[in-house]
């Protein structure tokens, strides 16, 4: 089957290449950021080559046969902010396609704004970072996973090297929300049990993202005080959007590395009508090795995934998109048959883990004149996890866990300019959640429950960007048909004191209902939080930026437990134990607070840098009325990412980039050794707070790559080395019933990743 797929890609009809060896085309689609109206007549400049172009009536512009390599675009239009788009790379194999939006602007602003290729879809003023595929390809040890790119950001702490789960500003990773095309979806990751204490699936992380970065367009990471468009999250949002395929030329990518074999194709469906397709298939490299009879310490791991996006514009009925993604993964562990080779309690058991995820959806967008714009998205996503642990006979299970989850999401948003001062945005987020899981390690007794969430919202924001910007809104979440109804105000403000210095602030009241196996055991009561942020940005030049935020989050309505120092704010990884909340349903609270400081140098003259530091504290209030630090209270996060590129003739590029991460260690409960000996497994002492402070986490990563372009094709060879000094970072401690002692489990050591990428 895999040979057939490769042959299809190799013999696809590659046609209509009008460029020479030393040049390639750049296609732009320019729109109003608020109304999606095309910016006809906008001027686009490439100063490096002294090229100029005006957009047509549809906001389209094309530069033909542009010299290869790094470049910047300057975009201007009467009544709009002047924008400089940096960190662009033009290669011979593919046209550079940019879908950019400009904000209407008054004339008293700074003369030019540096902009990412990813649009700020939510118009958030604080706590937002646009991410791009170019960054995913350039930053060290992302392994082409957008979630791992977020590890370089302030306030983000990675839970474990084996997975992309993250704690944002001290929150539990369970509170992170994944969105695709504007709707909430299930956990979109392979190996969702990777790196956890209990080896059970998590709600928001995994070994790698199912959606290949080659499919992604706009990506926004939000860390707090979300605008009114967002609901049902307290601990961050990863907001992803598909990009559209090239509607004029066929373009393909084949990539092979230690992550896997990645095959991608895009091109026109109907050139006259402008419809296009975008497709990606990936199969894990470990799966190929398993097929050849190899394993990894007794573990046989494999995964595969597929994604597609089909785009159909019409003249009068708007544009329609149909998209899908899905994947499956498995990890089968079998201990050595020779018992003299057993080294730990894991070798007592066979462990089978299977997971599969799928999503289908459609999007419709239509403009009403030049002032109003409607977008509607409907998506259905599902996830199924199964973990079975047994001795030598699968019919004799020691542990059997099954969990299926489904989310049907609808988002419909209407945006329009009321006048030159106010833009109005209103919409609806509607979600139906369904869960099914087994009880008491049985494969015969299952429990199912579903929940509803309806969140209409309204907001007012600037029709023009000026010295004072604002984003004022309300959302009205209604849980389970009116069982809980809230009014949640959202406010964001920014004031440009000078052309180089801006101050910002925001406030949001948020709610979140954990929708998982854990939620079934707790009283139904959405957790809530006040989130405040005050920040600044200082741009001494177009290449340099200093920015930061002070944040304060007070979480309330969390379940309280009697005589135990536990909290849902410590995550669900400890919840293999029977823990009951207070009979009267009392609730308690928690506090996350800290400061983030950042410096960014955009890639200029071959140099770039991203430096940030976060000082924070995360606490929960126990039954005794006192505050104690949560598991994720590491106290500090420091990231240093920088790199150098050498650009040669004809698009040849050599790059060396590194990232150094230094994080404060997470906290753990003490292990009750006597109870662990008696029970035969790890028993934590919940009668005391999290007194164990893990040692600090230190990890340097390195990425070296070489890009070369020839006529109609380009290639890249890269080597990523995660933890290139082989630092031993503590993951957790557990009681080993085979060794009859407490054992320290360390995170991954040095991991080299070789990758070859061919675009044609």
* pLDDT of amino acid 305: 97
User: How many other C-beta atoms lie within 10 A of the C-beta of residue 532?
Assistant: 18
- Strand-pairing partners, residue 390, are 350, 397
Residues 575 and 680 in one domain: yes
Last residue of a domain, one of 108, 124, 140: 124
**In contact, 12 and 265? CB cutoff 8 Å:** yes
Q: Report the alpha-carbon distance of residue 422 to residue 568 in Å, rounded.
A: 41
Q: Is 205 in contact with 297 (CB distance < 8 Å)?
A: no
The confidence score (pLDDT) of residue 23 equals 86
Position 576 scores a pLDDT of 52
What CATH number has the domain bearing residue 93?
2.60.40.1120
- pTM summary value: 0.92
**Whether residue 565 sits in one domain with residue 463:** yes
Residue 76: give the domain boundaries: 2-124
Judge if 185 and 199 occupy the same domain.
yes
Verify that 382 and 502 share a domain, yes or no.
Answer: yes
* Count of the separate structural domains present in the chain: 2
- Tens of pLDDT, residues 26-66: 999 999 988 889 999 999 999 999 999 999 999 999 999 99
> What pLDDT does residue 264 have?
96
* Residue ranges of the chain with per-residue pLDDT less than 70: 1-21, 107-110, 393-397, 518-519, 521, 573-579, 583
DSSP category for residue 253: E
Does 134 share its domain with 119?
A: no
Are residues 168 and 205 both part of a single domain? yes
**Degrees (nearest 5) of the Cα angle 202, 204, 209?**
110
Q: What pLDDT was estimated at residue 242?
A: 96
pLDDT (tens digit per residue) in 393-420:
666 667 888 999 999 999 999 999 999 8
489 sits in the region (left: phi over 0; alpha: psi -120 to 50; else beta) called: beta
Query: What are the helix (H) ranges across 2-124?
Result: 2-10
| 71 lies in the same domain as 105 | yes
Say if CB 741 and CB 733 are below 8 A apart.
no
In a shared domain, residues 609 and 746: yes
155 and 107 co-located in one domain: no
Please indicate, yes or no, whether residues 87 and 142 belong to a single structural domain of this protein: no
CA pair distance 247, 216, nearest whole angstrom: 16
Q: What CATH number did the domain enclosing 519 receive? A: 2.40.170.20
Residue where a domain terminates, one of 124, 154, 185: 124
Is 59 in the same domain as 191? no
* Closest by CA position to 613, among listed 253, 128, 156: 156
Domain end point (choices 107, 124, 141): 124
Same domain assignment for residues 114 and 158? no
Contact 665, 730 (CB under 8 A): yes
């Amino acid at each position: 089957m895999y040979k057939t797929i490769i042959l299809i890609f190799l013999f696809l009809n590659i046609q209509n290449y009008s460029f020479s060896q030393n040049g390639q085309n750049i296609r732009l689609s320019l729109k109003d950021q608020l109304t999606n109206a095309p910016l006809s007549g906008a001027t686009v400049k490439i100063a490096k080559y002294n090229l100029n172009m005006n957009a047509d009536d549809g906001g389209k512009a094309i530069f033909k046969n542009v010299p290869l390599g790094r470049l910047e675009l300057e975009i201007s239009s009467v009544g709009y902010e002047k924008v400089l788009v940096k960190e662009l790379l033009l290669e011979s194999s593919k046209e550079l396609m940019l879908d950019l939006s400009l904000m209407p602007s008054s004339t008293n602003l700074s003369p030019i704004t540096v902009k990412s290729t990813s649009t700020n879809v939510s118009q958030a003023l604080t706590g937002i970072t646009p991410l791009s595929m170019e960054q995913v390809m350039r930053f060290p040890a992302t392994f082409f996973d957008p979630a791992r790119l977020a590890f370089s950001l302030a306030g983000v702490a990675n839970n474990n090297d084996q997975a992309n789960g993250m704690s944002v500003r001290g929150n539990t990773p369970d509170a992170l929300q994944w969105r695709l095309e504007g709707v909430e979806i299930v956990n979109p990751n392979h190996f969702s049990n990777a790196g956890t204490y209990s080896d059970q699936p998590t709600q928001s992380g995994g070994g790698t993202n199912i959606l290949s970065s080659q499919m992604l367009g706009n990506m926004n990471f939000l860390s707090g005080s979300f605008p009114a468009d967002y609901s049902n999250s307290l601990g961050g949002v990863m907001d992803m959007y598909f990009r559209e395929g090239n509607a004029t030329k066929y373009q393909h990518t084949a990539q092979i590395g230690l992550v896997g074999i990645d095959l991608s194709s895009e091109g026109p469906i109907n050139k006259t009508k402008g419809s296009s397709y975008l497709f990606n298939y990936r199969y894990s490299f470990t799966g190929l090795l398993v097929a050849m009879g190899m394993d990894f310490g007794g573990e046989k791991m494999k995964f595969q995934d597929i994604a597609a996006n089909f785009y159909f514009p019409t003249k009068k009925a708007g544009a329609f998109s149909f998209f899908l993604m899905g994947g499956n993964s498995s990890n089968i562990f079998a201990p050595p048959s020779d018992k003299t080779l057993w080294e730990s309690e894991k070798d007592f058991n066979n462990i089978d883990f299977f997971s599969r995820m799928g999503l289908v959806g459609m999007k419709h967008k239509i403009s009403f004149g030049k002032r109003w714009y409607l977008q509607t998205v409907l998506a259905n996503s599902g996830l199924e996890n199964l973990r079975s642990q047994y001795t030598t006979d699968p019919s004799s299970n020691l542990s059997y866990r099954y969990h299926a989850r489904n989310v049907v999401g609808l988002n419909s948003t209407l945006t329009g300019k009321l006048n030159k001062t106010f833009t109005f945005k209103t919409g609806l987020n509607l979600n139906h959640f369904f869960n099914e899981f087994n009880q008491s390690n049985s494969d015969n007794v299952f429990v199912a429950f579903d929940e509803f969430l309806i969140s209409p919202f309204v907001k007012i924001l600037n029709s023009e960007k000026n010295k004072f910007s604002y984003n004022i809104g309300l959302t009205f979440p209604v849980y389970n048909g009116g069982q809980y109804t809230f009014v949640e105000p959202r406010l964001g403000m920014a004031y440009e004191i000078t052309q180089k210095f801006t101050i910002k602030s925001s406030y949001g009241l948020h709610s979140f209902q954990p929708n998982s196996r854990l939620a079934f055991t707790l009283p139904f009561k959405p957790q809530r939080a006040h989130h405040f942020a005050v920040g600044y940005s200082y741009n001494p030049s177009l290449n340099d930026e200093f920015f930061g935020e002070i944040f304060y989050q007070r979480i309330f309505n969390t379940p309280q437990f009697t005589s135990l120092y536990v909290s849902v704010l410590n995550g669900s990884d400890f919840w293999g134990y029977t823990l009951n909340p207070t009979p009267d349903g009392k609730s308690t609270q928690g506090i996350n607070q800290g400061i983030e400081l950042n410096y960014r140098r955009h890639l200029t003259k071959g140099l770039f840098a991203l430096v940030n530091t976060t000082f924070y504290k995360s606490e929960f209030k126990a039954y005794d009325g006192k505050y104690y630090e949560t598991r994720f209270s590491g106290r500090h996060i420091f990231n240093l990412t920088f790199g150098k590129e050498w650009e040669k003739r004809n698009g040849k590029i050599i790059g060396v980039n590194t990232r150094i991460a230094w994080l404060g260690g997470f906290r753990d409960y003490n292990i009750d050794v006597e109870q662990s000996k008696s029970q035969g497994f790890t028993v934590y002492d919940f009668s005391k707070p999290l007194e164990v402070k893990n040692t600090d986490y230190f990890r340097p990563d390195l990425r070296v790559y070489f890009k070369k372009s020839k006529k109609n094709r380009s290639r890249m060879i890269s080597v990523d080395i995660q933890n290139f000094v082989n630092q031993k970072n503590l993951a957790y401690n557990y009681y080993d019933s085979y060794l009859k002692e407490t054992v320290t489990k360390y995170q991954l050591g040095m991991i080299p990743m070789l990758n070859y990428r061919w675009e044609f």
